[in-house]
Amino acid sequence: MILRERRRAELAAMPDTLVERLCGPDRRSGWPSHGTVRNVSGEGQPAQGLALTLMRAAAAVLAWDSDVARRLIVSHLVRYASKDALSRLRGEIDANTFYNLDRTLLPVIVSYSFVRDHPDLESQDRERIDEWLERLV
């Protein structure tokens, strides 16, 4: 996985302009919100917009220690876990179905790893997300 403290130290040693180019700006607002996606098929990546938002938010947490991005990750993951998102396999269930699910789960898991142990994440939310991911992985 990502060695957060090492990467954080490397980013801290870089000029802010380079960090912005690599990780995006330290956004205080303007983060998109995404609806919950339950269905997964071999047709395409489910929740592609969410996956991109979570990766950008994870980069902001890593580079800027952004509370706004951290809260965004938590709110999306709590909502997805509460609604058992990405849990309905539809159509022909084949390798493409699982590939598409994995393409979404990778940014979900990476972003969650950046917030999972943060003191602001309530234990019941952590448990809900953990249980949801266990069912999917």
Tens digit of each residue's pLDDT (9 = 90 or more) over 13-57: 999 999 999 999 888 888 999 999 999 999 999 999 999 999 999
Residue 2 scores a pLDDT above 70: no
Q: How many domains does the chain have?
A: 1
Residue 47 phi, psi dihedral angles, 5° rounding: 55, 45
Tell the residue number behind the tokens 């590939």, with chain if given: 99
**Residue 24 belongs to domain spanning:** 4-28+37-136
The token duo for 57 is 């938010």
Rounded to an integer, what distance in angstroms lies between the CA atom of residue 62 and that of residue 34? 22
